[in-house]
Structure 1
Amino acid sequence: MGVLLRRYLIAGLLVWVPLVITIVVVRALVDFMDRSLLLLPPSWRPEALLGYPVPGLGLVLTVTIVVVTGLLAANIFGRRIVAIWEGLLSRIPLVRHIYGAVKQVAETIFASNGEAFRKVLLIEYPRKGIWTLAFQTGTASGEIQRRTEAEVITVFVPTTPNPTSGFIMMIPRNEVTELEMSVEDALKLVVSLGVVAPRELARGTAADMPREGR
């Protein structure tokens, strides 16, 4: 009886836990996006027009604002406005450093021909024989490349279970193993503490693992 009860309990948790967490995360995102409605005049908001709030309307407004902004910034007139705006920000001592760094990171990540977070790598860290996942973020250049004997690449090693934090490393290209798994699968592996293994990894065997000195 106890074994059956435990079995049913686990089966129920496997149904409800992912569902509840998904609902909580989606609701938090929708609530956050709905704050964009504060940009509208009070008389234009759903509460004033309809008499009740409309969940998710802020998400539509946010996407619309982003698309319209991109449309304006893609033409000559819009680029001139952006250049003037960035010129003003560059004159503010603290803001110019923050804005410049964030813009450079965003341009690197969202560039269609960029290398940032396009490849999942396997590296030996923190010592030989121990492997960890990393994401290639670029190719080292300038002084870093001149002072190294081999061609090095820049990788980001995420922490678990929070992959938004981590550290960067410069590693010789011939000392990393490029994996076929997607970035999404790698992030699942990191966030789940290794519990949720990608299908490619689950089908692999010990013989498929890279060997030292490869």
Structure 2
Amino acid sequence: MATWKRDFASGLILLVPLLVVLVVLRWIYRQVAGVPLIGTIELVAIGVPPSLVPVARTVIALTVFTTVVLAAGYFMRTTLGRVAEEEIDDFMNRLPALRVVYNASKLAVETALSGTEDLQAPVYLETWAGIRMTAFKTGKRTRDGKVVLFMPTAPNITSGFVIEVEPERIDHTGETTEEALTRILSAGFAESPHQIPVEDEEDVLDESTDGADHTRIDVGQRDHSSDDADDEGRATGSRTTDGNRRNTDRDGRRSDESSSRESDRRESDRRESDRRESDRRESDRRESDSR
């Protein structure tokens, strides 16, 4: 049953994006082919065979669409084009409902067409103790040396969070950008070469258990192995203690940094409150003097 569900999900992951692309292309073709200028062209009269009329209309529609897109792109490179884009964005953002659709579609197109060039290597960021999230380097840094990351939401990567963190808090994933995006877009259900399937992990555990049941050691070898195991156990315990000490020190530093930031924030809020209270009193005094 689990295999059937996994195969069905894999088929959906393969076919649904293709169907969506075909539907979008069909809609674009209908919109372009429905332009009055294209519909009124008498292709048969200019020598096009009747059997090739649909093909000719398709070629004309694609040519017109490509020309319009290239012309708009060239216009946007000019100063007047940038001003026009700002005016259009300002106008659309004034519309209560349409601005959401406009901004979402614009961001989706920018994300799709820009590909992964603007997103550098994916990294892990430990947001809470023992919990890490996937983010992407933007190639930018703040004035105080912090790294600017973009942490997308799943499965909609057009929204997310812009985070500024210290470089030492970043762990590299060892994945490509495409693999990380695939995992996010699939809400974690997509298969990755870097992960171990649950079935394989259980098989490994079973094999190790069976091997342990069939292992036999004589008395002399057992004593020698016991001494080696004790030495190795002491070495492992020492490494574990050192690792725990480093983790404790790191957690302590993070706690101190968090407490310091919280104290700074409270101090800033208190100063802002005092400033507002002083401004209010000064305003009341001036109003009283004017009366």
TM-score calculated relative to the size of structure 1: 0.58
Bigger RCO of structures 1 and 2 (CA < 8 A, at least 6 apart): 1
The counterpart of 2:40, out of the listed 35, 40, 43, is 43
Q: Distance in 2 between matches of 1:16 and 1:95?
A: 43
Cα separation, partners in 2 of 1:153 and 1:16, compared to 1, 3 Å: closer
Q: Which residue in 2 is equivalent to 1:3?
A: none
Q: AA paired with 1:82?
A: T
1:180 aligns with 2:174: yes
1:86 aligns with 2:74: no
Identity of aligned residues (%): 18
Q: Which residue in 1 is equivalent to 2:217?
A: none
Q: Which residue in 2 is equivalent to 1:131?
A: 132
Equivalent residue of 1:136, what SS? strand
- 1:43-82 matched pairs, under 5 angstroms: 43-44=40-41, 50=53, 62-63=65-66, 65-66=68-69, 73=74, 82=78
Cα separation, partners in 2 of 1:39 and 1:133, compared to 1, 3 Å: farther
Cα separation, partners in 2 of 1:161 and 1:60, compared to 1, 3 Å: farther
Gaps of 5+ in 2: 44-49, 94-98, 100-105, 202-245, 251-291
Q: AA paired with 1:184?
A: E
Equivalent residue of 1:199, what SS? coil
Equivalent residue of 1:26, what SS? helix
Q: Tell me the CA shift for residue 165 of structure 1.
A: 1.7
Q: Deviations over 1:80-101 (max 9, x none)?
A: x722332455567925999xxx
Q: AA paired with 1:134?
A: A
Q: Distance in 2 between matches of 1:45 and 1:166?
A: 51
Q: AA paired with 2:82?
A: E
Count the aligned residue pairs.
Answer: 178
TM-score calculated relative to the size of structure 2: 0.45
Q: Deviations over 1:102-153 (max 9, x none)?
A: 89xx6xx9599x7x3122111011x132111001124233xxx24xxxx211
Larger Rg: 2
Aligned 8 A contact 1:33 1:56 in 2? no
Q: Distance in 1 between matches of 2:82 and 2:8?
A: 51
Q: Distance in 2 between matches of 1:58 and 1:89?
A: 25
Q: Deviations over 1:60-82 (max 9, x none)?
A: 75456545666xx4xxxx78x72
- 1:60-209 matched pairs, under 5 angstroms: 62-63=65-66, 65-66=68-69, 73=74, 82-89=78-85, 94-95=90-91, 110=114, 116-125=118-127, 127-141=128-142, 145-146=143-144, 151-202=145-196
Q: Distance in 1 between matches of 2:188 and 2:115?
A: 30
Q: Tell me the CA shift for residue 30 of structure 1.
A: 1.1
Equivalent residue of 1:135, what SS? strand
State the superposition RMSD in angstroms: 4.7
Cα separation, partners in 2 of 1:192 and 1:68, compared to 1, 3 Å: same
Q: Tell me the CA shift for residue 24 of structure 1.
A: 2.2
- Greater percentage in helix: 2
Cα separation, partners in 2 of 1:139 and 1:89, compared to 1, 3 Å: closer
Q: AA paired with 1:122?
A: Y
Q: Tell me the CA shift for residue 50 of structure 1.
A: 2.6
Q: Tell me the CA shift for residue 55 of structure 1.
A: 7.4
